[in-house]
Amino acid sequence: MLEQDLTTMSDAVVVDVLRELEELRRRLEALSNRMIVEVVERSIPAARGHRSPKRFLVEVLRISSADASARITAAQDLGVWHAPSGAELPVTLPQTAVAQRDGAIGADHVRAVRAAMRKIPAAVSKDDRRAAEAILVELSRTSTPEAVQSAGERLLAHLDPDGTVSDEPDRVRRRGVTVGRQDNALMSRLAGELDPIARAMLDTILAKWARPGMNNPDDPESPCGAGEGVDRDVLAAAAGRDQRSTAQRNHDALTAVFRTVLESGVLGKQRGLPAIVIVTMAIDQLEQAAGGVATTATGGVLPISDALRLAERAHPFLVVFGNDGRPLHLGRAHRLASSDQRLALIAADRGCTRPGCDAPASLCAVHHVRGWNKGGSTDIENLALACDSCHALVNEGPLGWATRTTASGRTGWIGPVATDPDQRVGINTRHHPDELLRDARRRIDYERESGVA
């Protein structure tokens, strides 16, 4: 093919060749792992006078030291090694190794899986570790390495063995925000760490005011929020009685500003719901309130205990859902009847339903899975969240996407024939790491009980 005239090749063949090359490249990496295991187990580097396996690769293959290190690490994690008796040792990342041999995932996928797996605390059970790898590998087979990386970070919050995530004293100590000295350009550095409650409030505000076109100083027509949320006198009086450090005061004051802004109502509505913190949790999460995390409509995560404390103040909005996804409890005196459907969607979908999309619920529109013109109803079963750009992809043109409700009740997306000739129905698991984990755990339990594993 290096010599062949490619101009006669059809576009479809060019694309096919590119895909096959990628698969081949990935399988070659798996083969390279096998060969490196062989080289090391036969002690070839030492026998030939190389200081280490890495130096052997550098000197024999003329590759960089960094490349050699990466290949050795890959062989360590994915290769099948042997005990002196000749027995096969367990592979460190067995499911990743299988996917690489299939040609389904590349070196960057492997790196993303490994990075996430290494961050899992030592106390996490073997089964949970296996479940986490299964989820990351499954995602690797269908998405980009970047998607695997961000999914890995989300997954870690759910793999908390003894409640360190929901453990509070550490957060009380670490909280703080510092406004730095002005630099030559009169800019100030804002540094510090926000606790999950402050973060949940901040996310909600940013979702509204940091949108393109909002609060733009270069555009006199740009809408901006009223800046009168802070009462100077109240803050000054509070400072007089204050025994906290500057950083702690900054933190608490900022939290108060967020609350004042939220209470003042200046944010108006965000996609039909008041722009307030919306925390959703399932009824069974509430019952086992000790551990666990709830999600916010802006894509954040906060411990159940913090969510409940947040709700006590009555200003943010706590929504508890039954197993059917219907709101059981709305944490406010008056119900927002017309908003129930959107709240139910926020709890069920948590974000955009198109496979691979990261957009949180606050950036999503309500999409009719079966269109109006085809007799689709506005019942909750026919509604799903979709961000504006994904929503715009749904049309009946040759490049349009289609949606349908799957057997599991989730919204399935089907790409245009041009990019997906097999017309596979994909669902978005990015907003549901907890469900993936639960399913993977069940699978592992089942395998053990039935003796498959």
Contact positions vs Zn ion (CB under 5 A): 352, 354, 357, 359, 387, 390
- Residue with Cβ nearer Zn ion (265 or 272): 272
Cβ proximity to Zn ion, 354 vs 432, nearer residue: 354
State the minimum distance, in angstroms, from the CB of residue 411 to Zn ion: 11
- CB of 258 vs Zn ion, minimal distance in Å: 27
Judged by CB, which is closer to Zn ion: 22, or 420? 420
Q: Are 355 and 413 in contact (CB under 8 A)?
A: yes
Distance (Å, rounded) from C-alpha 309 to C-alpha 290? 13
Cβ closest to Zn ion, residue 166 vs residue 296: 296
E strand or H helix at 366: strand 364-368
In angstroms, what is the minimal distance from the CB of 390 to Zn ion? Answer: 3
Residue type, 324: D
- Least CB distance from residue 358 to Zn ion, whole Å? 8
Query: 446 vs 127, 193, 435, 450, 453, CA distance in Å?
Result: 12, 42, 16, 6, 9
Q: Which residue has the tokens 């019942």?
A: 379
Among residues 107 and 393, whose Cβ is nearest to Zn ion? Answer: 393
Q: What is the DSSP string of 31-62?
A: HHHHHHHHHHHTTHHHHTT-SSHHHHHHHHH-
- Strand (E) positions, 117-184? 176-179
Residue 173: which H helix or E strand, with range?
helix 169-174
Quick one: tokens of 199? 């973060």
Min. distance of Cβ 432 from Zn ion in angstroms? Answer: 15
Nearer to Zn ion, 139 or 357 (CB): 357
SS3 assignment, position 318 = strand
Residue 387 beta carbon to Zn ion: minimum distance, rounded to whole angstroms: 3
Nearer to Zn ion, 52 or 389 (CB): 389
Residue 391 Cβ vs Zn ion, minimum distance, rounded to whole Å: 8
Strands 278-282 vs 317-321: parallel, antiparallel or unpaired: parallel
What is the C-alpha to C-alpha distance for residues 245 and 26, in angstroms, rounded to an integer? 54
Strand partners, 190: 179
